[in-house]
Structure 1
Amino acid sequence: MQRVGSGSTTSGSTRPRKEKRLSYVLNDADDTKVNDAVLTGSTLVSCSSDTTLKTWNSLSDGACTSTLRQHSDYVNCLATAVKNSNIIASGGLGGEVFIWDIDAAVIPVAKSVEPMEDDYSNENYRQPLASSHCSSTSSNVSVYNTEPHYCYSPVAVKGHKESVYALAMNESGTVLVSGGTEKVIRVWDPRTGSKNMKLQGHTDNIRTLLLDSTGRYCLSGSSDSMIRLWDLGQQRCIHSYAVHTDSVWALASTPNFTHVYSGGRDLSLCLTDLSTRESLVLCTKEHSILQLVLQDETIWVATTDSSVQGWPADGHNFQKDFGKGGSFVAGNLSSTRASASLEGTASAPVHKESSFTIPGSPVIIQHEILNNRRRVLTKDSAGSVKLWEITSGAVIEDYGKVSFDKKKEELFEMINLAQETLRGLLACWLTNKRLRCELQASTKDDGSIGKDVTNRNVFHSRVEFDDRDNIDDTTVLPPFDFSTVSPPSIVTEGSCGVPWRKKITDLVGTEDEKDLPWWCIDCVLNGRLPPRDHIK
């Protein structure tokens, strides 16, 4: 039985404590949007909209090894030091930036101060907040308590008043830059968390940052469509490049920091010489560019589409690309590039097709709910039309690449129900509703008229019939099927007053009846749902 952390105990009290009812269903799997990921050795670190960081063993079966909790809102971005890869910086919508020592956060070093087995059985023991392990080491980056009941705490970088969207760190991990909706770049010492300077110049949100290996120069891309080059030693902007016509979301530089690849909302991948200001459109995409990675002679491009493409990037002979023609000089003002685009004088892209493509899973781009509210018709980015069962999440029939509108007309009429397509996935909200209708008798001798009362929620679907002869006649329909990959858990407080949590699939039948919610037992054994005002 996994205990949930509690700050108080009732083991010494003889007064019976009122049992708390279940108020939510918890899925232990991470099913929210992943916003960024970095690789540190064999460990992959990801950040998500569930406000956590997770570490994964990239050389194993991909299992999550630990979960780090410190942020109060969505975690947007990560940054790591190449020569000190165990140091990770994270930033999010809460205006928080934390510096993590991944090795110290997930590996207990001094076993002599670890809690004993008896400590885990104590009702007062708290499960760690920031990690699945407690650590007792210290370094020049992280400071935390060595007592067994305290967890690793990252270095908090304080100063942001608004959301953070971009982070970058130099190779040795001595300089950290951050930016967001405040339109300024802040420079920090990640070893102490102290702020060194603040750089102003952008007129809109800062979306991407890049540092050279020494930490002297910084490149920034913003929603004002500008790319700026900063000299941190002089604490000022030394060059501005008007390359794009819309927000700049991604940057990637050559190892010697002489050329930069850029992309963003205007669907263009550009190459710019930082010294001569000469720019070139390498290719145009069908989707906005989110991330760029330069590897050898290939620039990998990730977009809002699920596929990743690699385009030619001859880092040893840039003049070969510039010599093909179509280059332009990046101006100092964003209006110059926008004017060229409107006048039709924008450069044609150098490449027509990518060198490599890593196909991703097709995402759902269109959907319609059927009248029975349990099935949905979808169309994905590959053009396939499918019919789904909502309660089980399974495909009933795959119609292939057919007309979505024609298939929709064959299956159902339009209805109104709250639904949306998010992140390429279907989200259908089923609210508690009570529908009443009259049912005609099936035989001509029986003229009784009843009421069909349908209650639907995440636990049960039930139909009750009230007739003249037997008002207690109840038919119970099968409950919704829960996923076996991420089964729900019961989170409640037992009769002894101690909270506990356990997955439904882990119930073996030996649990104490007093530890289970009374309404849960009533639902399972008698098929009765609690009154609606008791479900909160």
Structure 2
Amino acid sequence: MHRVASAGNTSNSVRPRKEKRLTYVLNDADDTKHCAGVNCLAVLKSSAADGCDYLFTGSRDGTLKRWALAEDGATCSATFESHVDWVNDAVLTGSNRLVSCSSDTTVKVWDGLSEGSCIKTLRQHSDYVTSLASAEKNSNVIASAGLGGEVFIWDLEAALAPTSKSGDATEEDCSNGVNSSGSSLPMTSIRPISSSNNISLHTQSQAYIPVAAKGHKESVYALAMNESGSLLVSGGTEKVVRVWDPRTGSKTMKLKGHTDNIRALLIDSTGRFCISGSSDSMIRLWDLGQQRCVHSYAVHMDSVWSLASTPTFSHVYSGGRDLSLYLTDLATRESVLLCTKEHPISQLALHDDGIWVATTDSSVHRWPAEVRNPQKVFQNLVLHYSWSSRNAKRWFFIDRHRRRSF
């Protein structure tokens, strides 16, 4: 090992030089499969009656893949390669745009129906980017957050608009921070946003700057936004849920109750209710109008990593480190164990009457979930119990947390 003298050291002592580590992924000969754990899922529904639905997956191997969904399976139809580290989250916006974030500190915008074309790379974060959120009815608005405690709200239309190059503003592309000469591209500096009506600052001679929602002092792991894009919630290692106005980046409230890292968030279409999942193993339902927790659900035995709700926000699917996928009725607080995996569950995505489940291994599976009528799951449980009572061949139990297994 090389040893060098310390700078300014007059005693001639030496210290070991810090060695740099290089990590890289070698693609499998079968490029239609991920070769590492899957961190995120996103479903694109076809607008045509006879069109094909797609599932997008983002992996720790640094790639995203698009899968054409059919009744008898899924076929990989494209691979999206540009990130140089884990892909941590992905969302879909209008016009078939796919947005992803990565531990390489970037947010990338893709043409979701292309053969893997990256439209733009957005560089503003100082550390791993862990989470994204989008507004269903406002396709121009997305939010990103990461381990640096930064939360940014992006106007995609402004971010994707061409800017004239100047001495200190460089057009962002998908080159992973390296220009044609091999040197690093400059990071755009963060500046305060003075306008209270616009979510961006952008001119033809100046690089686009997103709105910064300032308040987190520690890492952020979860984001959610209502469908109009008028409300944003975030959570992380500070153990609190923060609520923001995305138009200005101002904080409107802070909700306390969890005792560990907040890993997953959902918000209903109206922006009235929020669901959070935490490393303290608890799921909480918050009334944002009353600014308080109205229900807590002790369903899991370990960290809750992912949540997905029915369209009416009456039931929530949850998965996490305990390998289990549960369905919980938010009103009655009853839960049903749907399946147990061999690896921790990292992400969930609803599709028709099923649910896609991603884990820390490289595969994704679909399970029946009765998304349109989740109460059927509980009704079927009663039928199973009645049958087992008569035949004494099946059994189930209800523990103190009202969790049912069968």
User: What is the TM-score normalised by the length of structure 1?
Assistant: 0.52
Paired position in structure 2 for 1:144: 201
Paired position in structure 2 for 1:318: 374
Is the Cα contact below 8 Å between 1:299 and 1:310 reproduced in 2?
yes
TM-superposed deviation, 1:318: 3.1
Q: For residues 332-343 of structure 1, what are the structure 2 equivalents within 5 Å?
A: 336-337=400-401
Paired position in structure 1 for 2:133: 79
Matched, 1:127 2:170: yes
Counterparts of 2:202 and 2:349 in 1: how far apart (Å)?
38
Which of residues 124, 128, 142 is equivalent to 1:70?
A: 124
Deviations 1:432-471 (A, max 9, x none): xxxxxxxxxxxxxxxxxxxxxxxxxxxxxxxxxxxxxxxx
Matched, 1:196 2:283: no
Counterparts of 2:198 and 2:92 in 1: how far apart (Å)?
19
Deviations 1:20-49 (A, max 9, x none): xxxxx9x99532111111111311111011
Give the structure with the larger helix fraction. Answer: 1
Counterparts of 1:104 and 1:139 in 2: how far apart (Å)?
17
TM-superposed deviation, 1:238: 0.4
The residue identity in structure 1 corresponding to 2:91 is V
Paired position in structure 1 for 2:345: 289
Which of residues 82, 89, 92 is equivalent to 1:39?
A: 92
Paired position in structure 2 for 1:167: 223
TM-superposed deviation, 1:348: 3.6
Matched, 1:227 2:270: no
Is the Cα contact below 8 Å between 2:119 and 2:174 reproduced in 1?
no
Deviates more, 1:305-314 or 1:138-147: 138-147
Counterparts of 1:152 and 1:105 in 2: how far apart (Å)?
6
Which of residues 138, 142, 154 is equivalent to 1:88?
A: 142
TM-superposed deviation, 1:126: 4.1
Q: For residues 268-417 of structure 1, what are the structure 2 equivalents within 5 Å?
A: 268-323=324-379, 324-325=381-382, 336-337=400-401, 347-349=404-406
The 3 A distance-change label for structure 1 pair 255 and 126 is closer
Which of residues 299, 310, 323 is equivalent to 1:254?
A: 310
Is the Cα contact below 8 Å between 1:142 and 1:153 reproduced in 2?
no
Q: Give the match's secondary structure for 2:377.
A: helix
Matched, 1:60 2:114: yes
Matched, 1:156 2:212: yes
The 3 A distance-change label for structure 1 pair 169 and 246 is same
Is the Cα contact below 8 Å between 1:106 and 1:131 reproduced in 2?
no
TM-superposed deviation, 1:313: 1.5
Counterparts of 2:376 and 2:171 in 1: how far apart (Å)?
56
Is the Cα contact below 8 Å between 2:196 and 2:247 reproduced in 1?
no
Is the Cα contact below 8 Å between 2:108 and 2:119 reproduced in 1?
yes
Q: Which runs of 5+ in 1 are unaligned?
A: 1-24, 109-113, 331-335, 341-345, 350-536
TM-superposed deviation, 1:309: 1.0
Deviations 1:141-197 (A, max 9, x none): 42314251x100000000000000000000001110000000000000001111000
Count of equivalent residues:
299
Which of residues 87, 95, 106 is equivalent to 2:160?
A: 106
The 3 A distance-change label for structure 1 pair 131 and 287 is closer
Q: Give the match's secondary structure for 1:154.
A: strand
Matched, 1:179 2:245: no
Q: Which runs of 5+ in 2 are unaligned?
A: 1-21, 25-80, 176-187, 189-194, 386-395
Counterparts of 1:98 and 1:319 in 2: how far apart (Å)?
38
Deviations 1:477-513 (A, max 9, x none): xxxxxxxxxxxxxxxxxxxxxxxxxxxxxxxxxxxxx
The 3 A distance-change label for structure 1 pair 275 and 128 is same
The 3 A distance-change label for structure 1 pair 125 and 176 is closer
The 3 A distance-change label for structure 1 pair 279 and 29 is closer
The residue identity in structure 2 corresponding to 1:87 is V
Counterparts of 1:61 and 1:130 in 2: how far apart (Å)?
17
Is the Cα contact below 8 Å between 1:164 and 1:181 reproduced in 2?
yes
The residue identity in structure 2 corresponding to 1:312 is P
Counterparts of 2:336 and 2:311 in 1: how far apart (Å)?
19
Q: Give the match's secondary structure for 2:253.
A: strand
The residue identity in structure 1 corresponding to 2:313 is F
Give the structure with the larger strand fraction. Answer: 2
Is the Cα contact below 8 Å between 1:89 and 1:97 reproduced in 2?
yes
Paired position in structure 1 for 2:17: none
TM-superposed deviation, 1:103: 1.6
Counterparts of 1:65 and 1:315 in 2: how far apart (Å)?
34
Counterparts of 1:52 and 1:176 in 2: how far apart (Å)?
20
Deviations 1:317-343 (A, max 9, x none): 43432132477778xxxxx55xx9xxx
User: What is the TM-score normalised by the length of structure 2?
Assistant: 0.68
User: RMSD over aligned Cα, in angstroms?
Assistant: 2.9
Paired position in structure 1 for 2:105: 51
